[in-house]
């Protein structure tokens, strides 16, 4: 197998991919430094593809500042749509398989049934809109792609909800946490494992997939579990979304159905609470 290029290598998922690739002893990964791997630089990307002739391109690079994106539509669109199109075009030219990471934010989150891949995408934020646009530009350039929509990503790497809660839990006696947004946390190590399974099995089941951990929870219950499993003595108070206003609107219900990923990709998906326990153990 030729090279596997990872863009956004210094981010949370990029670091998790490096961890899992080392754990599984998977060769040929190239974790590119940001200054060399700017997805908005077509000439630089072309040089990288010419140099490495990659069999896979994994795009973990994204504009993810959800609230800030409401004021920075053009920048978010450049990264989340135009950058993806730059990669997709080169993947088409080189016969490279593209693995693009997307989000539950492509949905409005107004329903109450687990979301399947064919459900209508109706983003309610600039972040969600630009990530959806990134999905939509791919098929014009290549048919060899996997889009993995995920949600509530956390790990022992980078900044995320779990690490923020642990920090605040040590500093405060009480925390007010939203209880009326429901979804599923995803341990980024598990998502990285899914990506490696796609590569190791040389899957040709191209298309869009949902991947999060199993189970359903709210941010309040997620935080409560973090404190319970880590032995952090802090009081949690459930609050409604309208008591904690943010610039961008979040989906109220973004539980995703993973049946397609389990059946077509052959991945086993752990329950969110089990994976949380693993992460907390690694965080010490």
Q: For the chain, how many residues are written?
A: 284
Residue 275 pairs in a beta bridge with none
d(CA 2, CA 254): 37
Q: To 10 degrees, what angle do helices 272-283 and 161-171 make? A: 60
Which residues neighbour 171 within 8 Å (Cβ) at sequence distance 6 or greater? none
Concerning whether 127 is annotated as a catalytic residue, the answer is yes
Question: Out of 52, 56, 94, 127, which one is annotated catalytic?
Answer: 127
Cα 197 to its chain centre, rounded Å, is: 16
C-beta atoms surrounding 167 within 10 Å:
11
6 and 179 Cβ atoms separated by less than 8 Å:
no
Continuous segment of H or E residues that includes residue 274? helix 272-283
Q: Look at residues 213, 235, 216 and name the one whose alpha carbon lies nearest to residue 224.
A: 235
Query: Which pair of structure tokens corresponds to residue 130?
Result: 């630009």
Answer whether 83's CB lies under 8 Å from 44's CB. Answer: no
Helix (H) or strand (E) holding 111: none
**Bridge partners of 71?**
none
- Residues 236 and 141: their CA atoms lie apart, in Å, by 48
DSSP-based three-state secondary structure for 20:
helix
The pairing of strands 153-154 and 217-218 is: unpaired
Please give the positions annotated as active site.
127
């Amino acid at each position: 197998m030729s090279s596997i290029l990872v863009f956004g290598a210094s981010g949370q998922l990029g670091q998790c991919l490096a961890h899992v690739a080392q754990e599984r002893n998977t060769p040929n990964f190239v974790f590119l430094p940001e200054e060399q791997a700017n997805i908005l630089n077509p000439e630089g990307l072309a040089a990288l593809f010419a140099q490495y002739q990659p069999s896979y391109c994994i795009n973990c690079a994204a504009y993810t500042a959800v609230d800030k994106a409401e004021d920075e539509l053009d920048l978010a669109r450049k990264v989340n749509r135009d950058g993806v199109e730059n990669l997709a075009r080169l993947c088409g030219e080189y016969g490279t398989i593209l693995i693009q990471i997307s989000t539950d934010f492509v949905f409005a989150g107004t329903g109450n049934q687990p979301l399947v891949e064919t459900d209508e995408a109706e983003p309610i934020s600039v972040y969600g809109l630009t990530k959806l646009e990134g999905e939509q530009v791919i098929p014009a350039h290549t048919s060899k792609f996997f889009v993995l929509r995920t949600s509530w990503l956390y790990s022992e790497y980078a900044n995320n909800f779990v690490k923020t809660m642990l920090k605040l839990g040590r500093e405060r006696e009480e925390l007010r946490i939203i209880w009326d947004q429901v979804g599923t946390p995803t341990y980024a190590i598990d998502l990285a494992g899914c990506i490696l399974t796609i590569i190791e099995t040389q899957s040709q089941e191209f298309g869009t997939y949902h991947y999060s951990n199993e189970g359903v929870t709210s941010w309040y219950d997620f935080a409560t579990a973090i404190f319970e499993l880590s032995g952090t003595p802090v009081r949690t108070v459930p609050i409604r979304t309208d008591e904690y206003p943010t610039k961008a609107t979040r989906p109220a219900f973004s539980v995703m159905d993973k049946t397609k990923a389990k059946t077509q990709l052959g991945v086993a998906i752990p329950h969110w609470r089990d994976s949380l326990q693993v992460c907390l153990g690694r965080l010490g």
